[in-house]
């Protein structure tokens, strides 16, 4: 029963998030980023992992339903009502078997394959260049700031009549040093930008190749879910599906055995008004 409560709690958390809720209002670290950014391809893996989790949850809910029915069947149920409980369990187990198959297929054919992709660092060279570029950009901007402050200091020193020649030369030397440093950082920064540009086409091609494979797996997974949703909707109405036909027949046979009058009669005969009661008699004293 505690599992049922946890499932209800999960559903309550999901309900406020309608299918049209903008991604920016949800907790999604991948929203608003380019797929070709380093590590962004993991969104495809997470998509399948989340789908597997939802399938596992559906399987657990069906198994929990079976467990609840089995628990109820062990209560004080007699005759036909007990038969209905037991045969209902068998019917619902058929649907659980199908969901279990779907979960296994997603695990083996989708997630395991994508995790293998994850082992290969398709973005390794691009990530290295991007990291170096980011560091070069920070160094270039930092040096530019130093040069700007040095030039201001030189202007102040030059215009101050009380400044000595040594102070003026020191300020000019500082400006010259930062100008050289800035130029060096600028060249490194520009070179790394060009390196990224030269690698961009091949990197994007590899990333989109991964995405294409992930989309193929995801399409198969979603088709599995569509089959499951269809099975749930048609659980008692499909005539050509042998599983559902068997399930429907089991339910019908079980329900046909239900007889309230028979159960009450059985109870009264064994536990109720038809049982013999030994009433106490007056016992006199014999001396």
Q: What is the mean pLDDT of the chain?
A: 67
User: What pLDDT, on the 0 to 100 scale, is given for residue 9?
Assistant: 45
Tell me phi and psi for residue 38, to 5 degrees: -55, 135
Residue 14 pLDDT class (50, 70, 90 cuts): very low
Q: Which residue has the higher pLDDT, 4 or 150?
A: 150
Contacts of 158 (CB under 8 A, 6+ apart): 168, 171
User: What pLDDT, on the 0 to 100 scale, is given for residue 4?
Assistant: 44
| pLDDT at 215 > cutoff 80 | no
**32-51 residue pLDDT tens:** 666 666 566 666 667 666 76
User: What pLDDT, on the 0 to 100 scale, is given for residue 121?
Assistant: 46
Average pLDDT over residues 49-74: 68
User: What DSSP string describes the chain?
Assistant: -HHHHHHHHHHHHHTTS-TTS-GGGS--TTTTS-TTSTTTTHHHHHHHHHHHHHHHHHHHHHHHHHHHHHHHHTSS--HHHHHHHHHHHHHHHHHHHHHHHHHHHHIIIIIHHHHHHHHS-TTHHHHHHHHHHHHHHHHHHHHHHHHHHHHHHHHHHHH-TT--HHHHHHHHHHHHHHHHHHHHHHHHHHHHHHHHHHHHHHHHHHHHHHHHHHHHHHHHHHHHHHHHHHHHHTTTT-SS-HHHHHHHHHHHHHHHT--HHHHHHHHHHHTSTTS------------
Average pLDDT over residues 188-203: 77
Per cent of the chain over pLDDT 70 is 41
User: What pLDDT, on the 0 to 100 scale, is given for residue 55?
Assistant: 64
Question: For 43-47, 122-126, 259-263, which range has the lowest pLDDT when averaged over its residues?
Answer: 122-126
2-7+36-269 adopts what CATH topology?
A: Substrate Binding Domain Of Dnak; Chain:A; Domain 2 (1.20.1270)
Average pLDDT over residues 73-102: 67
Q: Are 210 and 44 in contact (CB under 8 A)?
A: yes
């Amino acid at each position: 029963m505690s599992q049922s409560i946890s499932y209800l709690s999960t559903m309550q958390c999901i309900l406020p998030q309608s299918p049209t809720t903008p991604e920016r209002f949800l907790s999604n670290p991948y929203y608003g980023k380019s797929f070709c950014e380093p590590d962004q391809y993991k969104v495809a893996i997470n998509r399948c992992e989340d789908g597997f989790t939802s399938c596992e949850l559906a399987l657990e809910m069906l198994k929990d339903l079976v467990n609840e029915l089995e628990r109820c069947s062990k209560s004080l149920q007699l005759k036909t009502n007990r038969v209905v409980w037991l045969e209902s369990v068998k019917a619902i187990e058929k649907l659980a078997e199908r969901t279990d198959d779907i979960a296994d297929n997603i695990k083996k054919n989708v997630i395991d394959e994508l995790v293998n992709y994850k082992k290969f660092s398709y973005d390794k060279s691009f990530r290295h260049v991007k990291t170096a570029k980011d560091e070069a950009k920070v160094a270039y901007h930092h040096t530019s700031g130093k040069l700007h402050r040095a030039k201001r200091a030189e202007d102040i020193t030059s215009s101050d009549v009380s400044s000595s020649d040594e102070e003026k030369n020191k300020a000019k030397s500082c400006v010259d040093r930062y100008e050289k440093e800035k130029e060096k950082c600028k060249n490194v920064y520009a070179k790394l930008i060009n390196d990224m540009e030269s690698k961009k086409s091949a990197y994007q091609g590899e990333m989109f190749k991964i995405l294409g494979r992930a989309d193929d797996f995801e399409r198969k997974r979603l088709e599995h879910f569509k089959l499951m949703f269809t099975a749930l909707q048609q659980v008692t109405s499909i005539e050509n599906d042998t599983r559902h036909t068997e399930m429907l027949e089991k339910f019908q046979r079980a329900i046909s055995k239900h007889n309230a009058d028979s159960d009450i009669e059985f109870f009264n005969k064994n536990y109720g008004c038809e049982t013999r009661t030994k009433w106490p008699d007056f016992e006199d004293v014999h001396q």
